[in-house]
Amino acid sequence: MNEQLKQLVTEYKQLIDTKLPFHIENLKTPDTLKQAMIYSLNAGGKRIRPVLLLATLDGYNKPVEDGLDLACAIEMIHTYSLIHDDLPAMDDDDTRRGQPTNHKVFGEAMAILAGDALLTYSFELITKMNCAPSEPSKALTLIRELAHASGPEGMVGGQVADMEGENRMLSVEELAAIHHHKTGDLLAYSILAGAILADASAEDLENLRKFAIELGLLFQIKDDILDVEGEAEKIGKPVGSDDGNNKSTYPSLLGLDGAKKMLDVHTIKAKEYLSNVTMNKEKLLALTDYVISRDH
């Protein structure tokens, strides 16, 4: 990551990291629930989804502050999904981002409720955004698109397909479909939400949607590669954990070299779609390069 992009990502992450706990701390709810919610929100992570939203807004010369609450809502949904993914009934993980998972600290029941609370509060948060009172139709569009991206036809459906795909060899097409929904839909929403807030044209929205789908696949292919050749200290989980869970991955289906070639193919497609968008594309291009070159 070049220094300019590093500074940008750091700046965006600091904005999100400050705003996220602020929203939770002011809730009138039991302290234990707030602690469990904040624990996982504060666990860090790449914040790639909110960063993409803010970078898209910036590309349309709109104030990034206009998207902060929506960026927080997206990160809340992403965090809820990780809390539930880690539960014994699902992936049964003891650590997340180098620290004990939520249910290891607060117990399974509280972890489930913390995830539920993050999910439901995210939608309430969108209704409180600056755009909501003056532009209710825009807020409704953002809520509808987010519900779709994170619901049964999006992330949750992808998680189910992922679980049902364990212990059997998937085709590359099946694997891509799983990741398109499990990871890609919410990531794509982040970019589209920034464009919707910026009143982008229908043509731009369509090209950004296609770009974001490719970026979501890039993100997952790179994750699969890092699961083979990454460093546990950097990726925050044991290397080879996907093999241990009997899951098909791009390296297991194509070999490590084949997975890297697939990364190149989708990189070209992503940048082609982005080239058709009428905005300042510099930051989204730089973030695409970051996704494919990252070491965690």
Alpha helices in 151-201 (DSSP H): 155-164, 172-179, 185-197
Cα-Cα-Cα-Cα dihedral sign, residues 203, 46, 28, 156: positive
Distance CA 290, CA 271 (A): 13
First to last CA, the chain: 12
Percent of the chain with pLDDT over 90: 72
Summarised one tens digit per residue, pLDDT across range 92-140 is 999 988 899 999 999 999 999 999 999 999 999 998 886 654 577 888 8
Please state, in angstroms and rounded to a whole number, the distance separating the CA atoms of residues 47 and 227: 19
In the chain, the domains with their CATH numbers are 3-293 (1.10.600.10)
DSSP percent split of the chain into helix, strand, coil, nearest 5: 75, 0, 25
Cα-only R_g, the chain: 18
pLDDT band at 295 (very low <50, low <70, confident <90, very high): confident
If one compares 180 and 6, the residue with the highest pLDDT of the two is 180
- Model confidence, pTM: 0.89
When the pLDDT of each residue in the chain is averaged and rounded to a whole number, the result is 90
Q: Rounded distance, CA 13 to CA 181, Å?
A: 25
